[in-house]
Amino acid sequence: MASYYTLDFEQPLRALDEEIDQLKRRVDALTSEGDSTAAGHPGELAEAEHALADRLARHSQTMAELYKQLSPWNTVRVARHPDRPQGRDYIEAFCRDFTELHGDRRSGEDPAIVTGFGRIGDFKCMVVAHHKGRNTQEKLRCNFGCPHPEGYRKAIQKMEMAAKFGVPIVTFVDTPGAYPGLEAEKRGQAEAIALNLKIMSHLPVPIVSIIIGEGGSGGALGIAVGDRVAMLQHAWYSVISPEGCAAILWKQANERTNSQAATALKLTGRDNLELGVVDAVIDEPVGGAHRDKADAASRLEQWIVAQLENLSELKIDDLLERRYQRYRKLGSYDVAEPLPEPQAASESGA
């Protein structure tokens, strides 16, 4: 069994992981060709295989129980898991013939956002994805997935190119937020994101967006204006991170306040679905996408293809009107009829 980075709430799995690794090595040794121990003690191999099957079953049951009802704060932790698949991982998994495009033609290249043409199922697509980086050097180069203005300008320029050729757009969102540095602000960070929101709302091609990990504030929304928006089961999507919210409300970010903020923000997939912010929550393999990346990619690909098939049947005018109405109704509310004025005591007793 692979060795995983263990989150706090996953501690019950640590001992089982170690036992499974030991039993697998024992079974491999006993079944290796020419192993005299296996020949002399055939019952020992059967005993080791039985013990391995038992530990695997217990591991699956324990993991299912741990992930069945994750708290919002633990959901954030899973979304930040260092082994969780990122944008490039999904591109490599199911985007065939991917050709990456670079630069915003204004100031430079931002590796925190990946853009390019590729094929998903039977559809030619423009793929736009956040990327955090897999190792230390790449993470530093990508600002840990926090794009600069040139990243958002690159994204919208490539989306406009896709619209010119009538190619649908698929975006993978995974960012704690746009880069908040002074240089990014000088180059127009807020303006770049605002322009993306405006232009994406009018692009005459289908747009499908999926929050695959973190969906932080405008940094996420800058490439997430779509006809269909979904979240992976253990992703989060909110106006601010729990730590940022806790620092504002309670003047300190610690385990207790972060957990309270995560609950108050309604940032899980289930919460966002109930609020109408997203259209679907895509189930992940038990234990999170990082435990079975191939299965997670397959589920994501199937959902994307199904949405593109549905959206491709719509006329452009209908597509744009539905997109407008989708965002117009966010934050809608009902006005209750005022309660009747209570009668005065003297009137009621007369």
- What are residue 177's phi and psi, to 5 degrees? 150, 165
- In tens, the pLDDT along 307-316 reads 999 999 999 9
Q: Give the closest residue to 314 by CA, choosing from 227, 216, 238.
A: 227
**Partner residues linked to 120 by β-bridges:** 123
pLDDT value of position 332: 72
Could you tell me which residues come within 8 angstroms of residue 12 by beta carbon, excluding any fewer than 6 positions away?
62, 66
Residue 220 CA to residue 212 CA, distance in Å, equals 11
Residue 157 CA to residue 145 CA, distance in Å, equals 19
User: Which residues of the chain carry a pLDDT beneath 70?
Assistant: 1-4, 33-42, 344-350
Residues in the chain: 350
pLDDT value of position 137: 92
- What are residue 170's phi and psi, to 5 degrees? -125, 125
pLDDT value of position 249: 92
- In tens, the pLDDT along 250-284 reads 998 899 999 999 999 999 999 999 999 999 999 99
Residue 218 CA to residue 224 CA, distance in Å, equals 9
pLDDT value of position 54: 72
H helices within 170-238, ranges in order? Answer: 182-186, 189-200, 217-221
Burial class (CB within 10 angstroms; exposed 0-12, middle 13-18, buried 19+) of 61: exposed
In one-letter notation, the amino acid at residue 123 is F
Q: What angle do CA 143, 136, 158 make, to 5 degrees?
A: 40
Is 173:155 a contact under the CB 8 Å cutoff? no
For β-strands 228-232 and 207-216, DSSP reports them as parallel
- In tens, the pLDDT along 79-123 reads 999 999 999 999 999 999 999 999 888 888 999 999 999 999 999
CA distances from 76 to 108, 245, 261, 305 (A): 32, 14, 11, 27
Q: DSSP state, 96?
A: E
Residue 191 CA to residue 298 CA, distance in Å, equals 36
Residue 33 CA to residue 14 CA, distance in Å, equals 31
pLDDT value of position 1: 43
Residue 239 CA to residue 224 CA, distance in Å, equals 13
Residue 329 CA to residue 277 CA, distance in Å, equals 10
Neighbour-count burial for 96-132, b at 16+ CB within 10 Å, e otherwise: eebeeeeebeeeeebbbbbbbbbebeebebbbbbbbb
